[in-house]
Amino acid sequence: MRTIETERLILRPLTQEDANAVFEWAGDPLVNKYMPYPLHQSVRQAKEWIRSLGDKNEFCFCESVEISKINNDRSNSL
């Protein structure tokens, strides 16, 4: 799979290393409400879901900055 990068965005396939981040949104009932998959109950379930994507794992999107920095910036502005 190829990766597409711009100054602010990265499009790339999901990897097992993304499981914690996937669980953050796939395990959130508000985010998951309209998704076509069940609410994830654990990081392990997120890893299994990523693995199940197989050849259909085309792209995920990421901001081009560290996720922890984004979360810290958001919580400091609340």
Domain count along the chain: 1
pLDDT at residue 71 in the model: 47
Q: Is the pLDDT of residue 64 over 70?
A: no
Q: Please give the share of the chain, as a percent, with pLDDT higher than 90.
A: 32
Output the six-digit token pair for 5.
């990068």
Ramachandran area for residue 12 (φ above 0: left; ψ -120 to 50: alpha; else beta):
beta
Tell which wins on pLDDT, 19 or 66: 19
The average confidence (pLDDT) of the chain is 80
Domain span at residue 53 reads 4-77
Tell me the average pLDDT across 13-36.
90
Q: Which band of pLDDT confidence, cut at 50, 70 and 90, is reported for residue 78?
A: very low
Q: Is the pLDDT of residue 67 over 90?
A: no
pLDDT at residue 51 in the model: 93
For residue 15, give the CATH number of its domain: 3.40.630.30
